[in-house]
Structure 1
Amino acid sequence: MKRRNVNFVLFIITMIIFVLTACSDDSSTEVVEGGEENKEQGVTETSENDKYGGTVKVRIAQQPRSFGFPPAIANNPTPSIPVALPALETLGRFDQDGNVQPWLARDWDMDDEAETVTVYLEEGIKFHDGTDFNSEAVKWVFDQIIDTHPSLSAIDSVEIIDDHTLVFHFEEYISGAHINMFTIVPIGSPTAYEELGEEGNWNHPVGTGPFKFDSMENNHYIKFVRNDDYWIDGLPYLDSFEFRIIPNETTAINTFLANEVDIALHLGANSIAELNTSSDILVVDPTTSIGLRGIGIIPNTSDPDSPLADIRVRKAISHAIDREQLAESIFHGYATASNQLTLPNSWSYNPDLDPFEYNPEKAKELLAEAGYPDGFQTTIYTQNVRSFLMQAVQGYLAEVGIEVEVDVVEQARFMSMIYEEGWDGFTEFIYYSAGDELGTLLRPFFGPSPVLWGNIIGIPENVVDLVVNFDLEMEENNRQRLAHELQSAVMEEHHLFTPLFITQEPYLKYNYVHDDGYYTLRADFFTPEKLWIDK
């Protein structure tokens, strides 16, 4: 039976809304929403010549650890690749249906019996430093990555056949082998790496992309200029492209309204919902379900004396949080409450999992069974952008006797905690919605060689086995069965983390911006070479 008497939580939410809306501009009158607004307006009335020139500035919330060094980007792709994309390209790209299509690779052949993928590269392409894009460069990049990346470690070796043909040999051929190979490994110039060194290459991309790296100021801006020798004739359209790094959401909104950025990404749904805009501002909804940000909390279960080592406590925490209320109050419906790692329309979604409905009485019963009838104290570590959400979670857990301290940490410390340092209590857990590549999604967290979160908490053996078996299975029906078993093992048998929701937050742009491609292919991947503006 649900109980809605959670005054503390609603007080927190109300105060958050008050603070954010107090900063919005009441002077303008019209909100323009557009789930299909990525379809350019007036393209048929614009000549090709009129598309050339100008600069677009995009607000992002944080600077990635690297946007130039391919191994670092591949190991942390979601925040890094979108920033690297103007300069660094990949062998393939997602299309609007979530399928991988050729890009720098013109084609490939996958042979599961021979455990190989043969890749045929586009010809006549140059890196920004004037050196050739060829098999040797691609092999060099993958040789730096395959021993360190959990989703690519199944690659045993890369063989050069000729200047534009390579064969990837696998120790074990995995069904989604091509997905990460072609979409999260940016191809950079080996010569530039030799000249710059790893430290110099870390934030100085030298690739084949439509824009060349120009300059940056750490945590302030990253600027690219047009590559006049781009390998696709007639592109890009813009003269330059710039990311503006603005962590504070209120500052980001005000910067956008002052027309100092043209596109504003990574804004909270509340800020967008409460923002009164004029008719030249578009609120653009995602049109993809792939790569959307999932948010949850994950406990450190490695200490056997911790309450969080008891699965009953972990499940109690899930029952104590009203996801539906949070999705509506904080995300204004721009989030789907979640009990697993994929959305309900996904091929790998398991419809039989416990929904972990909001039930504080059941939560108290589970806590009492585990020996904590009066609750306990713990900590949730989070970053500033999600502190308001964790404060609401704090309120719900207080209702069942769990006293939580919300510790807001800087990005550098947070990354250190989840990569190597560890934490007491919980951290925020960020993942990205998958289609049929569930194994690819889970390997960095719960696979054989986890690099994020899972390398700290320790992963049950049957979860690791299911990740591996899912990746090795080729038959589609068996893959779906294994996907369901994997989600069941993660969420019900071990309850390794508490999922909250998968967000579908829109972004803002001015109506003079066209063909940006954001949230049409995969989350905040975009199409910088096609982007153009009215002048």
Structure 2
Amino acid sequence: MNFRPSLRSRCGLASAALMAVSLTLSACGVANSDSAGDAGDTVRIVLPQEPPTLEPCDANLTSTGVVVRSNITEPLVERDPASGELQPLLATEWKQTEPTTWTFTLRDGVKFSDGSAFDAEAAAHSIDRAVNGTFGCNVEGYVFGDDAIEAKAVDATHLEVTTVEPDPILPLRLSFIEVVPASTSDTAKVREPIGTGPYKIEDWQNGTKLTLAVNDTYWGEAPAYKKAEYQWREEGSVRAAMITNNEADIATGLAPEDISGDAAVRYPNNETTALRSTGTYAPLDDIRVRQAINYAIDRESIVDSLFDGYADVASQLVPEGVVGHNPDLEAWPYDPEKAKALIAEAKADGVPTDTKIRLISRNGLFPKVGETVEVVQKALDDIGLNVSIEMMDTAASIEYQSRPFPKNTGPYIILVQHGNQAGDAQFSVDQYMLSDGAQSTFGTAELDAEIKAADKAEGEDRQTAFAEIFADEPEKVSQFAYIAHMTGIIGESDNVEYEPNSATGDEMRVTEMKPAK
């Protein structure tokens, strides 16, 4: 099936300065017509798992973002997944007015779904809440790290955002901040958020289903569907069967064997699957052991046999199209004998290589995740390590994936799947490779300095700096064993028209769906 573009249709969007960051594929949504779903006005979506939260400041979590982002809440600006350019949304214009200050002109006349007005106070509150709050917003670590930000309302339609250091990609960072009313708690997360998006939460039956209804106060073009109903089933074959049996219109996270024919829609997503090792517990605190893990993984076999060839062997954390991707890197070679030799060498030096290592992954992370973990376990056992598998639900696995990590965990390896939706390597490197990154367990002062310098670079210098980091990390730190750049598959019934794009895994915009003609 051809990949066609997909970008929400807007009425009267004002022009804005555009920032290019990466290339993928995209398209245009359309307006109302009759057909599909219950009573012809509901699109039915089945997910691999229930969202653990609908808190907007956690919307960069895939399982939350597919429901929340651009459906319930919206950011100031959004990135076009086709061109990589930033486009106006709740902000119509933005410019760097001082080296450390950006000024945003906001859209006038927008209301939240509760009827309250969107203005600069709400925007400032949303930024401060997500970035400077103390209740653990995931977006803080993912996008901003420890960076301090001051957001100030100049008047109702003008916002100033100031950083400590000049930040050439601040508008791109702010595209991850979902805007909520100024009345939203700044000391606790919310279960059912209020937003400016085309939909609002109608009903959430915990463990059963979640229903969104059209937001009648929405400022943009009316969506084709009056409602979106989400259900969740862990097994991909079950989700696919719901398409076949006309119990769902769209099913996400499918494997090639789950569904075939016209109902199977493949698309290039931006996810990279990798193993991340802790570096603070023996034997994983020895770089020889971490590099042995890299040698032990037969990436080609995993891609061919488990992913049916619908993935590319990965040599780095970001795929082609992301600023900083290094096109000259080759995947770590498969050499189990070299891996065994490194383990034996470490053991001879007193490294306790027989210590049990926990291999952690999340149920439903991607199709055949269970089989993938079993293949990895056998590969590591075969080179002389002692590895035990622990499969967890989303809430439990997040504790091991993001800071603050649980204490006294002992050595563990976690299978992660990282999507760089922003199109710039800084969003991957800062969180996964800095010593204190949100999803990094360790690093080095040398690599930290290299990353900080790259973060400040612009243009071609930025591309070169991040490409060098991806070349250096495997040799100097080796926190990761990259496996594959993934390809997504969704199921679609004959009732609906929807073209997925590289952002679909992170945010699935219901406004881009329409009943089939």
Tell me the equivalent position of 2:17: none
Give the conservation status (yes or no) of the 8 Å contact 2:266–2:489. yes
Among 173, 190, 212, the residue aligned to 1:202: 190
Pairing 1:238-253 to 2, within 5 Å after superposition: 238-253=225-240
Deviation at 1:228, TM superposition (A): 2.3
What amino acid sits opposite 2:128 in the alignment?
D
SS at 2:470 equivalent: helix
Among 54, 65, 84, the residue aligned to 1:98: 84
Unaligned segments of structure 1, at least 5 residues: 1-32
What amino acid sits opposite 2:319 in the alignment?
L
Deviation at 1:449, TM superposition (A): 4.5
Pairing 1:17-96 to 2, within 5 Å after superposition: 33-36=1-4, 50=34, 54-67=41-54, 69-73=55-59, 76-85=60-69, 86-95=71-80, 96=82
Tell me the equivalent position of 2:433: 446
Instruction: Note if 1:527 corresponds to 2:509.
Output: yes
Tell me the equivalent position of 1:22: none
Alpha-carbon distance in 1 for matches of 2:455, 2:363: 35
Tell me the equivalent position of 2:278: 300
Q: Per-residue displacement from partner, 1:430-480 (whole Å, max 9, x unpaired)?
A: 21146751112222333364233x2xx332222222222211122x22212
SS at 2:510 equivalent: coil
Deviation at 1:128, TM superposition (A): 0.6
Alpha-carbon distance in 2 for matches of 1:175, 1:522: 26
Tell me the equivalent position of 2:11: none
Instruction: Note if 1:217 corresponds to 2:205.
Output: yes
SS at 2:132 equivalent: coil
Instruction: Note if 1:518 corresponds to 2:497.
Output: no
Alpha-carbon distance in 2 for matches of 1:293, 1:49: 33
Alpha-carbon distance in 2 for matches of 1:519, 1:397: 35
Q: Per-residue displacement from partner, 1:507-533 (whole Å, max 9, x unpaired)?
A: 11123312x453254644233224211
Tell me the equivalent position of 1:174: 167
Deviation at 1:78, TM superposition (A): 3.1
Tell me the equivalent position of 2:24: none
Task: Count how many residue pairs are aligned between Structure 1 and Structure 2.
Answer: 474
Give the conservation status (yes or no) of the 8 Å contact 1:284–1:508. yes
SS at 1:110 equivalent: strand
What amino acid sits opposite 2:87 in the alignment?
Q
Larger deviation, residues 308-317 vs 347-356: 347-356
Among 109, 122, 131, the residue aligned to 2:107: 122
Unaligned segments of structure 2, at least 5 residues: 9-26, 134-139
Instruction: Percent identity, please.
Output: 23
Please give the TM-score of this superposition, normalised by the length of structure 2: 0.84
Among 486, 490, 504, the residue aligned to 1:507: 490
Alpha-carbon distance in 2 for matches of 1:190, 1:63: 28
What amino acid sits opposite 1:397 in the alignment?
L
Q: Per-residue displacement from partner, 1:368-402 (whole Å, max 9, x unpaired)?
A: 23236996343211122322210011222233233
- CA separation of 1:483 and 1:436: change in aligned 2, threshold 3 A: farther
- CA separation of 1:59 and 1:415: change in aligned 2, threshold 3 A: same
Q: Per-residue displacement from partner, 1:8-59 (whole Å, max 9, x unpaired)?
A: xxxxxxxxxxxxxxxxxxxxxxxxx44349699xx99x99655895101111
Among 415, 419, 430, the residue aligned to 2:398: 415
Tell me the equivalent position of 1:231: 219
Deviation at 1:310, TM superposition (A): 1.4
Larger deviation, residues 384-393 vs 246-255: 246-255
RMSD: 2.9
What amino acid sits opposite 1:489 in the alignment?
D
Alpha-carbon distance in 2 for matches of 1:240, 1:84: 14
Alpha-carbon distance in 2 for matches of 1:47, 1:35: 21
Tell me the equivalent position of 1:136: 121
- CA separation of 1:445 and 1:384: change in aligned 2, threshold 3 A: same
Give the conservation status (yes or no) of the 8 Å contact 1:176–1:437. no
Q: Per-residue displacement from partner, 1:321-370 (whole Å, max 9, x unpaired)?
A: 11011101111111111121122454422244453111112212222232
- CA separation of 1:249 and 1:526: change in aligned 2, threshold 3 A: closer
Q: Per-residue displacement from partner, 1:297-339 (whole Å, max 9, x unpaired)?
A: 1112102xx1211111111111111101110111111111112
Give the conservation status (yes or no) of the 8 Å contact 2:31–2:223. no
What amino acid sits opposite 2:359 in the alignment?
I
Larger deviation, residues 306-315 vs 420-429: 420-429
Pairing 1:239-388 to 2, within 5 Å after superposition: 239-267=226-254, 269-272=255-258, 275-277=259-261, 281-287=262-268, 292-303=270-281, 306-344=282-320, 346-353=322-329, 355-371=331-347, 376=354, 377-385=356-364, 386-388=369-371
Tell me the equivalent position of 1:398: 381
Instruction: Note if 1:465 corresponds to 2:458.
Output: no
Alpha-carbon distance in 1 for matches of 2:437, 2:336: 33
